Amino acid sequence: MSKNLFVGYNERDTFMHRLSGSTKLIGFVSLSIIGMVTFDTRFLLGIFLFSIILFWKSQIKLSEISFILKVIIAFAAFNIFLVYVFSPGYGISIYGSHHMILGNPNQFFNLSWEELLYLFNVLLKYTFAVPLALIFLLTTEPSEFAASLNKIGVSYRISYSVEITLRYIPDVQRDYRTISLAQQARGYEISKKANLITRAKGAVQIILPLIFTSLDRIETVSQAMSLRRFGRHNKRTWYMARRFEMADYLAFFVIFLIVIVGVLLFKVNNGRFWNPFN
């Protein structure tokens, strides 16, 4: 049931798989930050196309990600609908001009090219980072992820927490499934057939054992780690850490160029918005 719910690492030999985790992490973080801030449609389209090409290059199959794509499309569509319904004239107030398609600016519900451009920007913002995130998830081995977090300056305790999270998600999930089946066998209903109260009660009957077994596990694991002297030194090395190679430096250069272009566009546009209506 939950097999296609997740996207996870798949071993292949492509350019993206060979890049070090730190490079991909830095790339993802810097591109998503610059994309989050900018409202330049051309720039967002550019990043989107760039990430689609990378996606295609890393040979990820559509069947691996079909589920997540459906969720994202539903999420984006619903949000854009809300953004429009709550203030259809928002585009006009941002761009300061009105080129109407339907209605006039004095009505509440109207449609202008400005609003359409704004909505298109919002859609791009919801989606442009998705291919990058998927590439990152599908081409980076989970244990290398913690090593790369540490490499880019996150303290090793926090990196190790992330590593523990990734390590224990499958365990907690398995516990959850076992407990859920056991409780359902005893008659607790958690499916859509039941009403809200019954479902809530059913959920509590599952999370109680789940949480209490997990608290025991925290105890055991932290004792084991103390015995092995975790946290003794200020630094630690990682088995999965990778050295930067030529390709990584090349990637850094490309990322740097894209970010610089994004920053320069703020100057050119006099702000975060690209305004084609002037």
Partner 1 sequence: MSNKNRSVQTVVATGIGAAIIFVLMKFIAIPTGISNTQVNVAEGFLPLLAAIYGPVAAGLAMFIGHALNDFVTYGSPWWTWVIVDGLVGVAFGLFKRQLDIQSGKISVSKLVLFNVYQVVVNFVGWVLLAPTGDILIYHEPAGKVYVQGLAAWLLNSISVAVIGTVLLVLYAKTRTKRGSLKKEK
d(CA 158, CA 68): 28
Angle, in degrees to the nearest 10, between helices 41-57 and 21-37: 160
d(CA 110, CA 105): 7
Q: What is the distance of C-alpha 151 from the center of its chain? A: 20
Q: Does 137 bind partner 1 (CB under 8 A)?
A: yes
d(CA 168, CA 274): 45
d(CA 32, CA 193): 40
Cβ closest to partner 1, residue 271 vs residue 276? 271
Nearest to 200 by CA among 210, 189, 211: 189
Which of 111, 122, 123, 241 binds partner 1 (CB under 8 A)? It is 122
d(CA 162, CA 142): 10
Q: How far is the CB of 150 from partner 1 (least distance, A)?
A: 13
Q: Does 68 bind partner 1 (CB under 8 A)?
A: yes
Q: Does 217 bind partner 1 (CB under 8 A)?
A: yes
Q: Does 257 bind partner 1 (CB under 8 A)?
A: no
Q: How far is the CB of 248 from partner 1 (least distance, A)?
A: 22
d(CA 111, CA 118): 11
Q: Does 83 bind partner 1 (CB under 8 A)?
A: yes
Number of residues that bind partner 1 (CB under 8 A): 70
Q: Name residues contacting partner 1, limited to 164-193 (CB under 8 A).
A: 164-165, 167-169, 171-173, 176, 190
Cβ closest to partner 1, residue 36 vs residue 250? 36
Question: Cα torsion for 22, 28, 34, 40, to the nearest 10°?
Answer: 150
- Positions in the binding site for partner 1 (CB under 8 A): 2, 5-7, 32, 36-37, 39, 68, 71-72, 75, 78-79, 82-83, 85-87, 90, 94, 122, 125, 127, 129-134, 137, 157-158, 160-165, 167-169, 171-173, 176, 190, 196, 199-200, 203-204, 206-208, 210-212, 214-215, 217-218, 221-222, 225-226, 230-232, 272
